[in-house]
Amino acid sequence: MHTVVVGTSGVTASDVLAVVRGGARVELSAEAVAALAASREIVDALAAKPDPVYGVSTGFGALATRHIGPELRAQLQRNIVRSHAAGMGPRVEREVVRALMFLRLKTVCSGRTGVRPEVARTMADVLNAGITPVVHEYGSLGCSGDLAPLSHCALTLMGEGEAEGPDGSVRPAGELLAEHGIRPVELREKEGLALLNGTDGMLGMLVMALADLDVLYKSADVTAALTLEALLGTDKVLAPDLHAIRPHPGQAASAANMLAVLKGSGLTGHHQDDAPRVQDAYSVRCAPQVAGAGRDTLAHARLVAERELASAVDNPVVLPDGRVESNGNFHGAPVAYVLDFLAIAVADLASIAERRTDRLLDKNRSHGLPPFLADDPGVDSGLMIAQYTQAALVSELKRLAVPASADSIPSSAMQEDHVSMGWSAARKLRTAVDNLTRVVAVELYAATRAVELREGLTPAPATRAVVEAVRAAGVGGPGPDRHLAPDLAAADAFVRDGRLVAAVETVTGPLG
């Protein structure tokens, strides 16, 4: 099994995906263990002094003015975990919880948090055992970290609360730890706070969204090309020299992908045959510009994610010179902004895909295709309601594009008076990515049927590969009306697991 070694300098997106989706094992480097021990010595020394130090010998948040004596500090750390594990609502997905735990471990291993090596080892042991704390949808404001979600994870380390075992059953966390030979941690000064104070949930969801959207943007380039082909459009607008004079990298990449898919097509260029057109509609002609802008947004979001993956986010932090300083690095604004930015790009990509689908179904704009791509229009409704479903998804995506980070609700008796709402931005982006997948699947379903209805014209080799693969996957082709939901579900799965991109790349080679 693949193993990810966590050191002091952060982790990569590939590391995150390997652990949260691939089940990779986690180990601590010798460097990380040494850094943990060194920073713990600093915390222990400060704890022995009479002067109050935030997070070590004081209360938290608006209660930070109270000095806590040595006899109550272990209870203080237990109490912050128990009281902050106050989430409500549905359970969060397993991969998100694993990301929470792994990314908090990443920061702990930086040596900037003052946590003992044995706590970090327990975090790794829980991940490796496949034990997943029960974390709820609501409880994070994205400031002072993803507090409630991370608290539910820390509660499991203490052997309290509920967790899901590797078999999927939810049981008391203490039982699961005992079954796997893991001793619950006894938290000491600073450790409870250090386990809660991070942007780990929103960052984990950002990393996963970037991976999913990388595939989806390629998929959208493919379906846009298939629609252009089915509409007998021109591929001249995809010429590299046209895109070179407006040098946005994402735009050039999308145009190149579409051109690769259309290479060798016998359908493109017929836009002057029976119903002369000077230009194709914007949803076809401007596909690279819209998808390209989204790709460039992905690139910016990836840069933010890389910086955050290299960060040690905690408050207070232990600095190499021995200072323990309060700071504001836990604020989620950098991550929240790009999560919201991605939701906007996702909504627009879905919107242009839906417009192309509608054009394929409208006999007045489809250049010779039957109404709704029906077998016997009037008797058959064809794909009429598939487009309704797609439109409903796009409408929802537009609502999800409203930025969460523009909101802030003060908390902790006005001590935490400006929050990022980054967790909320991440949660709605996950829904948006799911819905974009469905929207692209509907365009794929319509475009492949439309291409097959262009009798006497030969589609591109890449298009033929897609049609063959999608039909082999159980997605039906042209014919009389049938129950559409199973076909659409099969198309969704075909896009979601990357088979659409894989089918094209058997002909084109890797897409950009």
- Least Cα distance to 383 among 357, 365, 403, 402 occurs for 357
Q: Please list, in sequence order, all residues whose beta carbon lies within 8 angstroms of the beta carbon of residue 406, skipping any fewer than 6 positions away.
A: 340
Q: Where are the beta strands (DSSP E) in 135-210?
A: 136-138, 162-164, 170-172
**Any catalytic annotation for residue 54?**
yes
375, 480 Cβ separation under 8 angstroms: yes
Q: Are 427 and 137 in contact (CB under 8 A)?
A: yes
In angstroms, the CA 347 to CA 194 distance is 36
Q: Is the dihedral of CA 35, 40, 45, 51 positive or negative?
A: positive
Cβ distance 268 to 229 under 8 Å?
A: yes
For residue 3, list its beta bridge partners: 25
**Token pair in block for residue 16:** 């995150």
Q: Which of 54, 138, 388, 445 is catalytic?
A: 54
- Cα separation of 101 and 105, whole Å? 6
Residue 378, sorted as left (phi over 0), alpha (psi -120 to 50) or beta, turns out to be: left
Is residue 321 packed enough to be buried (19+ CB in 10 Å), middle (13-18) or exposed (0-12)? Answer: exposed
Q: What are phi and psi of 89, to 5 degrees?
A: 95, -170
Phi first, then psi, for residue 427 (nearest 5°) are -65, -45
Cβ-count burial 384-411 (b if 16+ within 10 Å, e if not): bebbebbbebbeebeebbebbbeebeeb
Q: What is the DSSP letter of 133?
A: E
In the numeric block, which tokens belong to residue 172?
A: 């008391």
Q: Exposure string (b/e) for 33-52, b if CB count within 10 Å is 16 or more?
A: bebbeebbebbeebbeeeee
CB-CB contact of 151 with 89 (8 Å): no
Contact 508, 230 (CB under 8 A): no
Distance between CA atoms of residues 485 and 390, nearest Å = 12
Q: Identify whether the C-beta of residue 332 lies closer than 8 Å to the C-beta of residue 420.
A: yes
| Residues labelled as active-site residues | 54
